[in-house]
Chain A
Amino acid sequence: MFDFLKKKLNEVVKKVTDKVAPKEKEKKPKPKKEEKKETFTTKIVKAFTEINVSPEKVDEIFQEIEIDLLEADVAVEAIDKIKEDLKKEIVGKSIKKSELEKHIKNVFKKTLNEMLDVPKIDLMKKLEKKPTLFVFLGFNGSGKTTTMAKIAYWLQSKKLSCVFAAGDSFRAASIEQLEEHGKKLNVNVIKHQYGADPAAVIFDAVKYAQAKKIDVVLADTAGRTHTNKNLMDQLEKIVRVNKPDLKILVIDSMTGNDIINQCRMFDQAVGVDALVLTKTDVSNKGGSILSAAYVLKKPILFLGTGQSYKDLHEYNPKEIAEKLI
């Protein structure tokens, strides 16, 4: 799923290396005078085997590689971070030419590791509280309901019981969609009619879970545009009334630069505790993960990787960074 980003990143490393040390200058010039050989050659050798990069040079290099990164859906803010790091690590430093590529690769690796490194949540510990309430929120069509079903399946594999709260009372057939998942997974759905107050639906689901000793309540919400004030207020009410243990933002990994706006505005409105990135099997660009991880610095619980219930992978930043460079 990261093929494209990987390809672009490697191109970028190569470009930086080539730009910093153009290849044609590799021939060693012959020293003219024998007697000065010692110091002179040492100097020359040093000049051609060690490289000192100016900040201007880095800027020039970056104009080019920026486009490569943008092509991979890495958001501009994340690109700025990469740039910053690269600058710090190569400007004004003498680096042996033979080690240049390795050095730049290492800089990138370190940067990616830092960017992908998000705080972790001990999910199992969170789940010790009975019942635990997870609320799923996000933009329209990001995959909230499907993700919920997948997480129910995952919880069942951990021998935990759950109940669905049909908090999306707006979109046509959203309740039926959840009910079909419920039927397949053998999970009950707590619902009201369409147009009902989602905060109340979720409240009822929690009460139900308490009464029936169910471990986890998974609450769906309607997809919403982060710019719609009324809907964001509704979300705020859901949170205020029900005090969820985790507010999980579901983000479509195919989202472009807007991913940053979406993450930020949901976070500002209600506070996001964790992320799930969906549809990573379709998006081969992969840059969105980098952007989301870096910008929001929130725990990423899972990546959605396909259509069936088992297609849910735990987020492993090290593995991703390794794969990329």
Chain B
Amino acid sequence: MLDFGKKITELISKALGRSTVDRETVESIIKGLQRILLQSDVDVKLVYELSNKIRDRCFKEKVQEGLTLREHVTKVIYEELVNLLGREKAGLKAKNRIMLLGLYGVGKTTTCGKLVKYFQKHGSKPALIACDYHRPAATEQLRQIAEKLNVPIHIDESKNPFNAVENGLKRFAKNDVIIIDTAGRDALDKELSDELKKIGKIAKPDEVLLVIPADLGRTAGQQAAEFNKLVGITGVIVTKMDGTAKGGAALSSCYATGANVKFIGVGEKLEQLEEYDPVRFVSRMLGMGDLEALMEKVKEAELDEDDAKRIMSGKFTLKDFYDQIAGIQKMGPLSGIVEMIPGFSSALPEDLVNIQEAKLKKFKYIIDSMTEQERNEPEIVNSSRIKRIAKGAGVSEKDVRELLKQYDLTKKVIKKVGGTASIKRGQLAKLAKKFGLKF
């Protein structure tokens, strides 16, 4: 999965790295994106639709003020991906009747329990109705879950799902949430689909939630469409998101039914159900937490113009160095980010690029242990100061020396970059932005 993240990062950095963004660049990015999405089990039609949207917007839309064309392309791709996944966090308001359905072994019964827990947390009084009389001990499984959560459950003694729903609804008339578990089925199987249809008619659910495992392949779209025809899907729950699978099938299901993802299951315990957050889902699917950060930075990275001017003119203090480190730490893992920044990865000395996150933390402690004067004029730091700083920061003297060395190297690079670039307003800001991104 990390591979995908790397690939998409490469793709985007390609776009950012070229001097001009032309049709060919965008096409090559789209091609790469297609492959990544298809590898994540996203429906082929959906992938093409997305490609077309990206293509359209890249070429036709006016570039937003303050963004370069490259950034515009990045933004379009990111936004379209998030759009595809629904814009907002989607939980579920207390609805009276909720029915769960899906293929075999997708996690319906477990999810029923998780939903009960979710509603309990929100102050509702849920009840369960068991309608799976096919799989051995399925009702027993639900009964054990109900017992654990201390909620009432209705099981039909004669193993008739229709009676179960009818009587269960009567019995739980006073409960504000009723969750109905159904048997796993192949939506194309006539007998089972007829049963589901009939259950749906009796239950008249407010929400019909399709349960889809994250690792499901391209069977997803077709099955979802069939289920939708049978009972009408109002939402999707993606289970088993704690494995390595990326959940692309869920997308296909949403696409096939027009329903949104409501929850994701992230573990085997009953509280491991999360309200769905599209941004995190994209990140997860494409392994591009970095891209999210990048987008944020594109917005935020307007480094103060004065700061930028000062830095570019060579007045780069340890304090600036510190700010940059703090910035990186806020952004999360370093890996991947560096490559995103055109020109910068090659301009910086190798070992600076490869600074480990653990080391960065150390640097931070060291700088914290310095006096204000030392931060502004690192030149004054001599060996006795180094000894003191190392003690204060709880690191070795070697670490302090290394920090000073890294600072020196960075300063040199900045001087070089700042020196060769003509200090025009726009360009300076751009450089600063790059700098803000990288460092």
Give the interface of A toward B (CB within 8 A): 63, 66-67, 70-73, 76, 139-143, 170-174, 176-181, 184, 225-228, 252, 254-259, 261-262, 265, 279, 281-285, 287-288, 307
Contacts and interface: CB of A to CB of B under 8 A. Distances in A.
A174 B249 CA distance: 27
Nearest to B184: A141
A285 B242 contact: no
Interface in B94-141: 103-107, 109-110, 113, 134-138, 140-141
22 contacts: A67-B38, A73-B219, A139-B215, A139-B243, A140-B240, A143-B105, A173-B142, A177-B138, A178-B137, A179-B137, A184-B136, A225-B243, A227-B243, A228-B242, A255-B215, A255-B216, A256-B217, A257-B246, A259-B215, A261-B244, A282-B104, A282-B219
Given A173-B143, A279-B105, 10 more contacts: A67-B34, A142-B105, A173-B142, A176-B137, A177-B136, A177-B137, A226-B244, A252-B215, A256-B41, A258-B41
Given A173-B144, A227-B243, A257 B40 contact: yes
Nearest to A225: B243
A133 B135 CA distance: 25
B186 A285 contact: no
B39 interface: yes
A129 B249 CA distance: 43
A257 B137 CA distance: 31
A225 B243 CA distance: 5
B217 to A, nearest CB: 3
B213 interface: yes
A170 B106 CA distance: 17
A283 B219 contact: yes
Contacts of A228: 242
A256 B144 contact: no
B347 interface: no
Contacts of B141: 171-174, 176-177
A227 B242 contact: yes
Interface string B33-53: 011001111001000000000
Main secondary structure of the interface of A (DSSP, over half): loop
A152 B104 CA distance: 21
Contacts of A139: 215, 240, 243
Given A227-B243, A288-B217, A63 B137 contact: no
Given A256-B248, A258-B246, A176 B140 contact: yes
B246 A72 contact: no
B245 A261 contact: yes
Nearest to B217: A256
B166 interface: no
Contacts of B109: 172
B244 A67 contact: no
B113, B134, B137, B217 pick with most chain A CB within 10 angstroms = B217
B174 interface: no
A165 to B, nearest CB: 16
B218 interface: yes
B405 interface: no
Nearest to B240: A140
A179 B141 CA distance: 13
A228 B134 CA distance: 30
B105 A173 contact: no
Contact of B44 (A67, A171, A287): A67
A141 B244 contact: no
B217 A283 contact: yes
Contact of B217 (A142, A177, A184, A287): A287
B272 to A, nearest CB: 11
A265 B44 contact: no
Contacts of A261: 1, 243-245
A71 B222 CA distance: 12
Contact of A173 (B1, B34, B134, B140): B140
Contacts of A72: 218
A170 B268 contact: yes
A139 B242 CA distance: 11
Nearest to A149: B136
A284 B41 CA distance: 15
B243 A285 contact: no
A172 B219 contact: no
B22 to A, nearest CB: 20
Contact of A254 (B39, B188, B217): B217
B298 to A, nearest CB: 30
A316 B293 CA distance: 50
A262 B249 CA distance: 16
Q: Which 7 residue pairs of A and B lie closest in terms of their CB atoms, listed nearest first?
A: A141-B105, A256-B217, A173-B141, A256-B41, A180-B136, A177-B137, A258-B245
Given A141-B105, A179-B137, A281-B186, A172 B38 contact: no
A171 B214 CA distance: 19
B244 A140 contact: no
B322 to A, nearest CB: 36
B39 A70 contact: yes
Contacts of A171: 110, 141, 268
Interface string B213-245: 111111100010000000000000000101111
A179 to B, nearest CB: 7
B242 A257 contact: no
Q: Which of B39, B110, B215 has the most CB of A within 10 A?
A: B215
Contacts of B389: none
B137 A225 contact: no
B144 A172 contact: yes
Interface centre among A66, A70, A71 (most CB of B within 10 A): A70
A11 to B, nearest CB: 13
Interface string B246-260: 101100000000000
Contacts of A255: 215-217, 245
A258 B242 CA distance: 12
Given A226-B244, A258-B245, A279 B217 contact: no
A181 B39 contact: no
